[in-house]
Structure 1
Amino acid sequence: MIYKYVLLAIFISTSFYSNYLKAESIWVKYGNQIFRGVGDAKAIGLSESGVAAATGPLSIIWNPARLNSVDERSFIFAHQERFAGSVTFDIFGIDLQQRSESNWSLVLIREAVQGIPKTTDALLFGTGSLDDPEERVLSSNVTFFNQSQWAGVIGFATSRGEWNLGGNTKVLIHQLGEFSGWGIGFDVGGWKRLSTNNVIGISIRDITTSWVIWDSGTVERISPELRLGDAHSFNFDVFPLKVTTMGTIVLSMEGKKKNDDFFIGSFGSHYRLGLELNYNNKLNIRCGRNPISGFSTGLGFIFNFGEIDYAFVPSPLGTILGSSHYVSLNLKLEAIDSFFGILKK
């Protein structure tokens, strides 16, 4: 099934955008940002290092194949306040009906930035640029605009021998002031258990390259990204503690970036690390390492009906953008069904 999915994704990408090949096409390094750093508080507290350890419906964002990692279905709502509240995110995720040959999930994402200053029409000499050292901004002429992004992701996972494989389709609608754009992209992934306590994972984001088509005629293209990860857990017989370590190496085909940890030829690369301490299956303490903010931390509280998680991420290194806070609620669908009886068995 995974092979058919990849072939279908390539066919859609080439045929769907054939009418836009003559438009202005540019490669961007920070495209599709709505899919970067998005997720529940659990994943963010671990610095998005869970390519081999992600669980739940939101796992299709990092590695679609991880939908096959647990049997319980769940519903997730997550809210993010990034950079001292300047950017807000709302994320909904739900596990769809499980089938014998595959599992499916659906994720909806909304991102918004309010009150962005527009200074291009507020310059004293009307040059349209602040490159002129004599140019000044007239505060009385400054106007403001908003940005919003809506995205949907649907993904699946299936098993083939010792490997679990999966894929997703991503759709984006982007509103930036008076301009609007939309796009589509595809991810694939896989994971395999090497031992009882060790798992390896791999995912390729934007495998066919992703596109964002603007009403101005510009087409933004996003390069693929390869992620390789490993997760290992340790259990203690004399103490109700489970320790899980995880690491992910990210190889970006879009070239070198300032916050990359190392380079492989002309490609930039960085690594992400995560550590989770689970006490008596009641409390999770998390921390992670990433190249953007340096570190992340988080807490998770486990109940019979699901989990409540929180994560904190400091301001990006070398900036004064402000810290970010993340909260998420993960509800077991069986717990919801016990109250409303709405699920099909």
Structure 2
Amino acid sequence: MRFPLVLLTLLSFAFAKAQTSRAYSNEFLNIGVDAAALGMSNAVVAKTGNVNSGYWNPAGLMQLEERELSLMHASYFANIAQYNYGAYAMPIDDRSAFAFSVIRFSVDDILNTTQLIDDQGNINYDRISTFSTADWAFTLSYARESKLDGFSYGGNVKIIRRIIGDFATSLGFGLDIGLQMQRGDWSFGLMARDITTTYNTWSIDEDEFATVQGAVANQNQELPETTEITLPKLQLGIAREFTFHYDHVLTAEVDLNMRFIQTNDIISSSSVSATPALGLEYGYTDLVFVRAGMGNFQNEMQLDGNDNVTFQPNIGIGFKYKGISVDYALTDIGDSSAALYSNIFSVNVDLSVFSR
């Protein structure tokens, strides 16, 4: 049987965050989107300029020339968890642009074995049911060009919906802002996530939750708190584009990802922690792309008690033809996972190719 008593584990994990790990609420939103960006270790906040800018830096939507569509799918943990993303973006006029995106991170068809044994102590497999957990994020993005040449700004409004079977649901709202500036071959970017602090409010079905309480004696005897808090995060980026013989373009970007809490990041204090990310992209005739990156630099304690600096390398390739881009990345699940590396594919489509 897959996932024996997994319900207890998932509920315990999800609700414990409301009490002890509020800074890590809505972590599925930190995984990232677009295989091209993931192949560069997410170091794209300064240079992003397509439909996926709604996620990375909404100010980058001002680089759009036509309507674009993006789709991505990834499977983690031996296909147990599914991560799906879709986005649509379009220019509104010469000075503004709009985007909408959806993210779903889920584990489906989980076996609920909490009622496997009846009141008489008999095992009854007919009492096994299934349920799913799903984290949803709906984001509306808007960008505008400033009167200052090369400067643009944008923002996101996020609605977050999280579901754990019939036991609990939550609803949250968040705001992001982004800035971008272009100066010749240089690009600068800033992305501030959850600037007002994002709150998720949980609604718990007490009757369903009572079945979980009775599954294991003396555990989960009280209802958990019903509010999760996502603290603000800040990303700063600087990028430079190098062109060789017209057909060869190398883009390099360095980002600094900051969280306002103490973590194992390579730069860490009681009030703020930060880790750098470096991304490189080589493109030939805007047709073939090769990418690499390093990020998630962490201080990890070894068995001997000493700290060791670790980092996460990523690689990727991409192809673009007549407005259709297909990208691949070999990357980890997210900034703080020890999971095996995953194969991620994404597709970006310039929708104007279908109207010509």
TM-score normalized with structure 1 length: 0.78
| Identity across the alignment (%) | 26
Residue 317 (structure 2) pairs with residue 311 (structure 1): no
Shift of 1:143: 7.6
Secondary structure at 1:50 match in 2:
coil
The residue type paired with residue 35 of structure 1 is L
Match of residue 168, structure 1, among 141, 156, 176: 156
After the TM superposition, which of the residue ranges 292-301 and 210-219 deviates more from structure 2? 292-301
Once the two structures are superposed, residues 195-243 of structure 1 have per-residue CA deviations (whole angstroms, 9 ceiling, x without a partner) of x111010110000000111003611011101110011111112x72110
Q: How many residues align?
A: 296
Shift of 1:193: 1.4
- Indicate conservation of the 8 Å contact 1:106/1:153, yes or no: yes
Residue correspondence of structure 1 range 86-105 to structure 2 within 5 A? 86-105=80-99
- Indicate conservation of the 8 Å contact 1:26/1:218, yes or no: no
Shift of 1:294: 0.7
- Indicate conservation of the 8 Å contact 2:30/2:335, yes or no: no
Which residue does 1:189 correspond to in 2? Answer: 178
Contiguous gaps of at least 5 residues in structure 2: 1-17, 118-122, 205-224, 298-310
Which residue does 1:300 correspond to in 2? Answer: 318
- Indicate conservation of the 8 Å contact 1:89/1:112, yes or no: yes
Which residue does 2:33 correspond to in 1? Answer: 39
- Indicate conservation of the 8 Å contact 1:156/1:166, yes or no: yes
- Indicate conservation of the 8 Å contact 1:171/1:185, yes or no: yes
Once the two structures are superposed, residues 3-52 of structure 1 have per-residue CA deviations (whole angstroms, 9 ceiling, x without a partner) of xxxxxxxxxxxxxxxxxxxxx88761221223111311111111111010
Residue 283 (structure 2) pairs with residue 291 (structure 1): no
Residue 201 (structure 2) pairs with residue 213 (structure 1): yes
Which residue does 1:159 correspond to in 2? Answer: 145
Match of residue 200, structure 1, among 182, 188, 193: 188
Contiguous gaps of at least 5 residues in structure 1: 1-23, 124-137, 339-345
Once the two structures are superposed, residues 106-162 of structure 1 have per-residue CA deviations (whole angstroms, 9 ceiling, x without a partner) of 111122113557788899xxxxxxxxxxxxxx9x99986421122211111112213
Indicate how the Cα distance of structure 1 residues 277 and 191 shifts in structure 2: closer, same or farther if over 3 A, else same.
same
Whole-angstrom distance in 2 between the partners of 1:57 and 1:264: 35
Shift of 1:320: 6.1
TM-score normalized with structure 2 length: 0.76
Shift of 1:80: 1.3
Give the superposed CA RMSD.
2.7
Match of residue 347, structure 2, among 329, 332, 336: 329
Whole-angstrom distance in 2 between the partners of 1:65 and 1:181: 29
- Indicate conservation of the 8 Å contact 2:237/2:253, yes or no: yes
Secondary structure at 1:212 match in 2:
strand
Secondary structure at 1:291 match in 2:
strand
Secondary structure at 2:24 match in 1:
coil
Whole-angstrom distance in 1 between the partners of 2:336 and 2:192: 29
Whole-angstrom distance in 1 between the partners of 2:77 and 2:47: 27
After the TM superposition, which of the residue ranges 79-88 and 179-188 deviates more from structure 2? 79-88
- Indicate conservation of the 8 Å contact 1:188/1:207, yes or no: yes
Residue correspondence of structure 1 range 77-116 to structure 2 within 5 A? 77-116=71-110
